[in-house]
């Protein structure tokens, strides 16, 4: 299978190590991974701000670059969900988009498609898993707490393969952290209050690190932690999974 690696713009600009870890992990798993160097933003910021038409050119470029691959894999639940669920309304073409049916968050892809029996990582630390809204309610990386179903977490399943790790989850396990992209800009006071509550729940687990599938949520919480001078650290889940490489 041919894998097109999509590294969202904010990951590329602020957290490049997350993109590198994703490539290393997919390569370790024996996959044919290609990083198209002419890729750019998927268009989510424009569409989330109410300007879907302005996102069309970026969506069409994404389609042109990535539709040649069997799978598209990204270290971002929110960008993955945008391409998967919003591209059909942005592009409005009966024959497109092809990429919506091919894109996976990296955790989703490894758990559901690759299905490894072991991973190489060693991470002897306590971690608290942050379940982002897009990951839970659009990509089903974990079960939503409001549903009367058996609890599951694909992220926890993957992390459990890592040597030495201790895994925790906060109270109100899938409550929003308050980031929400444009929400944090339009409602900053509410966003910060939500983030402070969420950070407090993570800290209460006694974890050394907060981890998750969305660097955007982690960035929001990290900013609040820095202002509060909290010693808790932050790491994307794929960096833990690739820690032995």
Domain ranges of the chain: 2-114, 126-241
What is the reported pLDDT for 121?
Answer: 87
Could you give the percent of the chain with pLDDT greater than 70?
Answer: 100
Grade residue 114 by pLDDT with cuts at 50, 70 and 90: very high
What is the reported pLDDT for 55?
Answer: 94
CATH number of 2-114: 3.40.50
Residue 84 clears pLDDT 90, i.e. is over it: yes
Grade residue 191 by pLDDT with cuts at 50, 70 and 90: very high
What is the reported pLDDT for 142?
Answer: 97
What is the reported pLDDT for 48?
Answer: 86
d(CA 168, CA 209): 10
Mean pLDDT of 7-29: 96
What is the reported pLDDT for 52?
Answer: 87
What is the reported pLDDT for 168?
Answer: 98
Q: List, edge to edge, every strand of the sheet that includes 209-212.
A: 166-168, 126-130, 209-212, 233-236
39-50: pLDDT as tens digits = 999 999 999 888
What is the reported pLDDT for 244?
Answer: 86
Grade residue 199 by pLDDT with cuts at 50, 70 and 90: very high
Grade residue 9 by pLDDT with cuts at 50, 70 and 90: very high
115-151: pLDDT as tens digits = 999 998 899 999 999 999 999 999 999 999 999 899 9
């Amino acid at each position: 299978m041919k894998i097109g690696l999509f590294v969202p713009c904010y990951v590329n600009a602020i957290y490049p190590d997350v993109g590198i870890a994703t490539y290393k992990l997919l390569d370790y798993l024996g996959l044919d991974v290609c990083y198209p160097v002419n890729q750019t933003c998927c268009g989510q910021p424009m569409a989330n701000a109410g300007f879907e038409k302005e996102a069309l050119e970026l969506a069409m470029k994404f389609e042109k670059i990535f539709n040649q691959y069997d799978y598209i894999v990204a270290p971002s639940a929110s960008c993955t969900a945008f391409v998967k669920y919003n591209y059909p309304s942005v592009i409005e073409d009966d024959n497109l988009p092809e990429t919506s049916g091919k894109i996976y968050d990296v955790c989703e892809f490894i758990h559901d498609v690759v299905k490894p029996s072991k991973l190489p990582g060693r991470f002897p630390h306590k971690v608290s898993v942050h379940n982002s809204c897009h990951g839970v309610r659009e990509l089903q990386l974990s079960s939503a707490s409001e549903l009367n179903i058996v609890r599951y977490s694909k992220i926890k399943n993957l992390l459990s393969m890592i040597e030495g790790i201790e895994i925790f989850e906060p109270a109100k396990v899938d409550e929003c952290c308050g980031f929400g992209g444009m929400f944090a800009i339009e409602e900053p006071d509410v966003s910060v209050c939500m983030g402070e509550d969420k950070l407090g729940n993570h800290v209460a687990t006694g974890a050394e690190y907060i981890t998750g599938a969305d660097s955007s949520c982690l960035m929001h919480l990290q900013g609040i932690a820095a202002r509060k001078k909290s010693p808790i650290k932050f790491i994307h889940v794929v960096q833990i999974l690739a820690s032995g490489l």
